[in-house]
Homo-oligomer: A and B are copies of this chain.
Amino acid sequence: MLLIEMFVFLGTIAFAISGSLLAIQKRLDIFGVLLLGLTTALAGGVIRDLMIGNIPPTNLAEPQYFLVSLLASLSTIIFFERIKKFNHSIAFFDAIGLGVFTAVGANAVLSFEYSQPFLIITMGLVTGIGGGVLRDVFVQEIPQVFRKEVYGMASIAGSVALIISYDFVSPIISLYICLTVTFTIRMLALKWKW
């Protein structure tokens, strides 16, 4: 398995956990917890695929991401008491998710032979935050990206780094640069409570 695919699974798991945890807090039933976990993990990629014309969206056509999300959500239910103590590690996984999904989303634009820098940034952002926005809307919260300054900004900075580095290094390297920049900025924001 390619390293990047492993990261995608890691990001998917992190987002599924964040959705399931919020659903449990909001006292949804089991189906609701699973569905919110799945929505958080898969919706960003679906929205991006609609916008770049990748039909049907990969996350709905291929079951592996669904299965991983389902497993992560089920595990969240089973190990809820233990996981909720690790809010810090959740934020850590969430930051990985944001970084991975931004990188994969920005990169998907390039692999579809579009190259407008602006489109790359918006698709990175939509992929990175889309699932979380729906998660929050569905449980009646103002989406986190509107409330935390250095959340969307981290994604944008990552995509800018991808665009700048793209002409100088191999595509896969610039993808990791994007992931690293997004993740690092988000973690610094958490640490210093930006």
Contact = CB atoms under 8 A, between A and B. Distances in A.
Given A35-B152, A46-B51, A53-B55, A28 B146 contact: yes
B52 A55 contact: yes
Contact of A56 (B28, B29, B53, B145): B53
A26 B146 CA distance: 11
Interface residues of A, number: 46
Contact of A139 (B35, B60, B62, B142): B142
Interface stretch (A8-16, A117-125, A168-176): A117-125
B63 A29 contact: no
A88 to B, nearest CB: 22
Q: Mostly helix, strand, loop or mixed at chain A's interface?
A: helix
A191 B57 CA distance: 37
Contacts of A62: 116, 118
Given A55-B53, A60-B51, A31 B152 contact: yes
Contacts of A150: 31
A51 B50 contact: yes
A81 B17 CA distance: 42
Given A29-B149, A149-B31, A55 B51 contact: yes
30 contacts: A23-B146, A26-B142, A28-B142, A28-B146, A29-B147, A29-B148, A29-B149, A30-B149, A31-B145, A31-B151, A31-B153, A32-B145, A32-B149, A36-B146, A46-B51, A50-B50, A51-B60, A52-B55, A52-B56, A56-B109, A56-B119, A60-B118, A60-B122, A60-B123, A61-B114, A63-B116, A63-B118, A139-B142, A140-B141, A140-B142
Interface of A: 23, 26, 28-32, 35-36, 46, 50-53, 55-57, 60-63, 66, 109, 114, 116, 118-119, 122-123, 133, 137-143, 145-153
